Amino acid sequence: MINEKFIYIGLLVFLITSLSYFIETINGKVKPNKVTWFIWSLAPLIAFFSQIKQRVGLESLLTFMMGFVPLLIFLVSFVNKKSYWEIEKRDLICGFLAIIGLILWQITKIGNIAIIFSIISDFLGALPTVIKSYNHPETEASLIFLGSLIYALINLLTIKNWNFENYSFSLYIFLLDLVIFIFIRFKLKKLLKKLI
């Protein structure tokens, strides 16, 4: 376990890597999936306000940033028409299911069950970007996902009390961003085709 003040270093890394994604979105180099980035902003911001009510400490900063930065990216994605990614039926289904997950999360109001619905909802919102990162890695930038997984890892390393509510969201973010980073950075689909 490391000192919880390292969370600020993780935050700084995440903000710096996010800045490049903003710029590349404005320039039309990356094409964010609007469904994913909207859900990625909504679910964590709702979770953050729940954490504040439950008096979660500094760990809640990660949850806030995991909602705030995607909200900014979602809004910036409307600035340049070149950064448009066509929304498919699959994206809308994932978005709809993610919203259902958020509603179920709010209905349960039972701590760990709510967290599970939050993670399910976030993952369903992420699925279009996971698929796009695998199939079209050239439409994404890996740096923001690397920054996010570093931030989540630092958050995990600061946890004193290893119970589900403290580690689950950070662990989920770490694993999700690791997969997306690998898909984009190493163009995994093309790499697998060469090996097969």
pLDDT at position 83: 66
Report the alpha-carbon distance of residue 186 to residue 19 in Å, rounded.
22
| 66 located within any domain | yes
Report the alpha-carbon distance of residue 20 to residue 10 in Å, rounded.
16
| 30 located within any domain | yes
> Which residues lie closer than 8 Å to 80 by C-beta, 6 or more apart?
25, 26, 27, 28
| 37 located within any domain | yes
SS3 196: coil
| 52 located within any domain | yes
Domain that holds residue 123: 6-195
| 1 located within any domain | no
> Which residues lie closer than 8 Å to 192 by C-beta, 6 or more apart?
none
| Through-space distance between the first and last CA atoms of the chain, rounded to whole angstroms | 42
pLDDT bracket for residue 56 (50, 70, 90): confident
Q: Comparing C-alpha atoms, which of 153, 149, 154 is closest to residue 184?
A: 149
Hey, how many other C-beta atoms are within 10 angstroms of the C-beta on 112? 12
- Tell me the Ramachandran region of residue 97: left when phi exceeds 0, alpha when psi lies from -120 to 50, beta otherwise: alpha
If one counts the domains in the chain, the total is 1
pLDDT tens-digit series, residues 4-42:
889 899 999 999 999 999 999 999 889 898 888 988 888
- Residue in the block written with tokens 């710096």: 16
| 145 located within any domain | yes
Give this prediction's pTM: 0.88
